[in-house]
């Protein structure tokens, strides 16, 4: 059963077509990596999954339920409001720029949404969030403000914050692109252990090593289209599309 599925998703900014009929399906427990040159529409696609961008046309299914259907910039159908909010929370998102709340400590950053959105009690939330901080290896940084954490630590807090809402799918939008090279490893290892624990993940990334080793499915996007997709072994060792080959040659 597909957890997240899109049908003919298109996105236009004015006359610029960023996404052209994207079909994608993510199964429970699957790790999908989206790779491709910049400007290919990878981030826009990911962002339109949890409604940070509004698609021009296409259908998005969550849990095999039609979440959103739009044609020509008009919403044809959308799940009712309560369900919409619930389904949105099934997707946790991690951003390239971390976007931690600078006025909250690491622990408060993670606790904010469970307390205010899930109406969890403060004690329960604290227990949950300390556990998550421990999981990303930052238990001793609970009371630090983001400014005093390294980029890698900030991104790990951001991952814990997204996990605190207990999502079914984690969306990663270039999670390591803003990091110094020596800090990339710690974030990738957290993501790797998350994948091993069975989390469904969609990762937009330039980390080819991660895509090759962790992903079950790799999508190569180019000019708003899925140029090629398949298991990493196929994409990385025997790409069929010349654009894929050209891209992989330039990054590897």
Partner 1 sequence: MSSQNKKPARVNSRLRVACIVVAAILVIGAVMALVKPPMSDLVERIPEEMVDRAGANYSQTEYNYLIFNIARGRNVRTAESDTYIGIFGMVIQINDGFPAKLANMLFWLPALLSGARITISLTIVSMLAGVFLSVFLALGKISKIKLISKPCSAYIFFFRGTPLLMQLFFVYYALPMMSTALTINDKFTAAFVAFALNNAAYCAEIIRAAIQSIDKGQFEVSHALGLTYAQTMRLVIIPQSFRRLIPPVANEFIMVLKDVSLVSLIALSDLTHTTRSINSSSSSVLVFIPAMIIYLVITAFFTFVFNRLEKRFSVYQ
Give least dist CB 26 to partner 1, A: 17
Backbone angles phi, psi at 25, to 5 degrees: -140, 130
For residues 45 and 9, is the Cβ–Cβ distance under 8 A?
A: yes
Scanning residues 154 to 183, which ones bind partner 1 (CB under 8 A)?
158, 161-162, 165
> Rule CB under 8 A: which of 18-37 touch partner 1?
none
Q: Which is nearer to partner 1, 136 or 235 (CB)?
A: 136
Considering the complex, what minimum distance in angstroms separates the CB of residue 195 from partner 1?
A: 20
- Give me the least distance between CB of 249 and partner 1, in Å please: 33
95 touches 105 (CB < 8 A): no
Residues 2, 37, 52, 230: which binds partner 1 (CB under 8 A)? Answer: 52
Contact residue for partner 1 among 36, 146, 152, 232 (CB under 8 A): 146
Interface residue with partner 1 among 76, 117, 238, 251 (CB under 8 A) is 117
φ and ψ of 147, to 5 deg: -60, -25
What's the helix, strand, coil split of the chain in %, to 5? Answer: 40, 30, 30
Q: Give, as ranges, the residues between 221 and 240 that touch partner 1 (CB under 8 A).
A: none
Query: Which residues are CB-neighbours of 169 under 8 A, at least 6 positions away?
Result: 3, 4, 26, 90, 91, 92, 199, 200, 201, 202
Count H helices, E strands: the chain? 9, 11
* Range 113-129 burial, b when 16+ CB lie within 10 A, else e: bbbeeeebeeeebbebb
Asked if 51 is part of the footprint of partner 1 (rule: CB under 8 A), the reply reads yes
Residue 48 CA to residue 174 CA, distance in Å, equals 15
Q: Which is nearer to partner 1, 113 or 201 (CB)?
A: 113
The C-alpha atoms of residue 63 and residue 40 are separated, in whole angstroms, by 27
Q: Is 6 in the site for partner 1 (CB under 8 A)?
A: no
Q: 85-114 mask for partner 1 (x: CB under 8 A)? A: x--xx-xxx-x-x-x-xxxx-------xx-
Taking a C-beta distance cutoff of 8 angstroms, is the pair 33, 210 a contact?
yes
Is there binding between residue 116 and partner 1 (CB under 8 A)? Answer: yes
Asked if residues 6 and 22 have their Cβ atoms less than 8 Å apart, the reply is: yes
- Answer for which of 147, 198, 249, 252 binds partner 1 (CB under 8 A) is 147
- Nearest approach in angstroms of CB 89 to partner 1 is 5
From the list 131, 145, 189, 241, which residue makes contact with partner 1 (rule: CB under 8 A)?
145
Least distance between partner 1 and beta carbon 230 (Å): 29
Sites of contact with partner 1 (CB under 8 A): 50-52, 85, 88-89, 91-93, 95, 97, 99, 101-104, 112-113, 116-117, 145-147, 158, 161-162, 165
């Amino acid at each position: 059963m597909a957890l997240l599925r899109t049908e003919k998703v298109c996105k236009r900014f004015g006359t610029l077509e960023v996404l052209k009929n994207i079909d994608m399906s993510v199964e429970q427990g699957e790790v999908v990596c989206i790779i491709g040159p910049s400007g290919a529409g990878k981030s826009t696609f990911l962002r339109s999954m949890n409604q940070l961008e509004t698609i021009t046309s296409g259908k998005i299914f969550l849990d095999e339920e039609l979440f959103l259907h739009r044609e020509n910039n008009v919403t044809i159908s959308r799940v009712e409001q309560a369900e919409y909010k619930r389904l949105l929370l099934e997707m946790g998102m991690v951003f390239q720029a971390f976007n931690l709340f600078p006025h909250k400590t690491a622990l408060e950053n993670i606790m904010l949404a469970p307390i205010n959105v899930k109406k969890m009690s403060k004690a329960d939330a604290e227990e949950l969030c300390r556990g998550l901080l421990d999981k990303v290896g930052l238990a001793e940084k609970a009371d630090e403000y983001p400014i005093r954490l390294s980029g890698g630590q900030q991104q790990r807090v951001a991952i814990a914050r997204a996990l605190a809402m207990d999502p079914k799918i984690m969306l990663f939008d270039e999670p390591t692109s803003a990091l110094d090279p020596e800090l990339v490893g710690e974030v990738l290892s957290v993501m790797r252990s998350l994948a091993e624990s069975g989390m469904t993940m969609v990762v937009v990334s330039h980390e080819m090593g991660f895509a090759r080793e962790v992903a079950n499915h790799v999508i190569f996007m180019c000019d708003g289209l899925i140029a090629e997709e398949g298991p990493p072994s196929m994409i990385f060792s025997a790409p069929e599309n010349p654009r894929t080959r050209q891209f992989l040659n330039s990054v590897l």
